[in-house]
């Protein structure tokens, strides 16, 4: 009887160990799949051009733009990863082709590139700003490997802020970020003393939470595995491989103590970065130098197209209130 009981106990322990090992193996496999999908959201090949009807939809005459403004390609080396960050430096007509002039840095969303910022560049150029628009990680000519919902991308923006500070000491520096680029901007300004170097920030349909975005992607896959489990597995692998958890890329938390004046633009109809994301960031900012403009009817990042007159009016008033 004792031998039988001992054998049964040994078998039970072996079964538990096997199940545990299989569980760890499955969790690791799922985590790697989630990690791969969440950090390879776009490619250089897919983002090397703009859609054929892009300029027309955004109301930009590309040829006229390039003949009106001096566009200088600039490449700086990232201080985080040492990859090249390609950008276009566009001189306003007020600057007399000098970089020692007020400047705004534009950050595109996922699937875009530095050229998709040109419609907003035209607006800021007309307002008298020089413009820097650059390729984010894994986009167009920026060959950095991973996309991280702004967490690593913030270092590229910080490098451009430092570049402007060197070229135009004492001049006004602004940042405009769209969607994924909004997350980059928010996380950058919440990092150390970066907000002290930036005079204004505009976030258009910003992502506020890496964790939420990944959970939504898992839900859309509908593979029959609990979303919370897949997200947890991906989160652990992300920490092991990249050194941070999804929660570390929370834009609202990062911006809590940002002192820079902030204008947040969002829409009640946005299905990609829902209304609550911009509102969460707005509510999290403890200071009073913040504004929120919400429209009722536009899709994701479509406010410039749908409400161009009011968009211009809102931004001009914001700049007049806090900068001029």
pLDDT at site 90 = 98
Whether 8 shows a pLDDT value over 80: the answer reads no
Torsion angle of C-alpha atoms 33, 38, 40, 41, degrees rounded to 10: 130
- The closest alpha carbon to 142, from 78, 54, 186, belongs to 78
What mean pLDDT is predicted for residues 234-244?
95
Q: pTM for the full model?
A: 0.93
Greatest distance between any 2 Cα atoms in the chain: 96
Higher pLDDT, 193 or 15: 193
pLDDT at site 2 = 56
Q: In the structure encoding, which two tokens stand for residue 118, read together?
A: 């040109």
Sign of CA dihedral 247, 106, 155, 324: negative
pLDDT tens for each residue of 282-320:
999 998 899 999 999 999 999 999 999 999 999 999 999
Determine the 3-state secondary structure of 299 from DSSP. coil
Contact 210, 216 (CB under 8 A): no
Q: In the structure encoding, which two tokens stand for residue 108, read together?
A: 């595109």
Contact 125, 114 (CB under 8 A): no
pLDDT tens for each residue of 73-113:
999 999 998 899 999 999 999 999 999 999 999 999 999 99
Q: In whole angstroms, what is the distance from residue 200 CA to residue 319 CA?
A: 8
Q: Which regions of the chain carry the CATH code 3.40.50.1820?
A: 45-209+250-322
143-160: string of b/e by CB count within 10 Å (b at 16+)? ebebbbbbbbbbbbbbbb
pLDDT at site 163 = 98
Q: In whole angstroms, what is the distance from residue 172 CA to residue 188 CA?
A: 17
Least confident among 2-6, 22-26, 92-96, 133-137: 2-6
What top-level class would CATH report for the domain 45-209+250-322? alpha beta
pLDDT at site 23 = 63
Q: In the structure encoding, which two tokens stand for residue 33, read together?
A: 């799949």
pLDDT at site 3 = 60
Whether 174 shows a pLDDT value over 60: the answer reads yes
Determine the 3-state secondary structure of 46 from DSSP. coil
**Looking up tokens 């538990």, which residue turns up?**
16
Whether 242 shows a pLDDT value over 60: the answer reads yes
Give φ, ψ of 301 to 5 degrees: 55, 30
Whether 14 shows a pLDDT value over 80: the answer reads no
């Amino acid at each position: 009887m004792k031998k039988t009981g001992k054998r049964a106990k040994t078998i039970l322990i072996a079964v538990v160990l096997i199940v545990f090992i299989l569980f760890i193996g499955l969790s690791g496999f799922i985590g790697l799949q989630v990690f791969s999908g969440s950090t390879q959201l776009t490619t250089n090949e897919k983002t090397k051009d703009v859609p054929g009807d892009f300029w027309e939809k955004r109301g930009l005459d590309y040829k006229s733009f390039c003949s009106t403004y001096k566009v200088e390609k600039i490449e700086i080396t990232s201080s985080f990863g040492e990859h090249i960050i390609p950008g276009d430096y566009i001189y306003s007509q007020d600057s007399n082709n000098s970089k020692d002039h007020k400047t705004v840095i534009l950050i595109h969303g996922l699937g875009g590139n530095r050229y998709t910022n040109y419609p907003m560049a035209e607006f800021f150029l007309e307002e008298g700003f020089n413009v820097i628009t650059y390729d984010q990680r894994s986009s167009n000519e920026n060959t950095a490997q991973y996309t991280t919902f702004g967490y690593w991308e913030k270092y590229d923006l910080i490098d451009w802020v430092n570049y402007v500070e060197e070229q135009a000491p004492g001049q006004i520096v602004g940042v405009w970020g769209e969607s994924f680029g909004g997350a980059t901007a928010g996380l950058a300004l919440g990092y150390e003393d970066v907000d002290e170097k930036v005079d204004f920030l505009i976030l258009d349909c910003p992502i506020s939470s890496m964790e939420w975005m990944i959970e939504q992607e898992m839900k859309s896959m509908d593979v029959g595995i609990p979303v919370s489990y897949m997200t947890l597995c991906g989160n652990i692998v992300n920490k092991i491989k990249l050194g941070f958890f999804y929660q570390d890329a929370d834009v609202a938390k990062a911006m809590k103590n940002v002192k820079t004046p902030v204008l947040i633009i969002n829409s009640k109809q946005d299905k990609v970065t829902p209304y609550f994301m911009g509102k969460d960031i707005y509510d999290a900012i403890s200071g009073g130098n913040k504004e929120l403009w919400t429209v009722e009817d536009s899709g994701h990042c479509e406010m410039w197209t749908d409400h161009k007159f009011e968009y211009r009016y809102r931004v001009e008033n914001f700049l007049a209130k806090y900068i001029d």
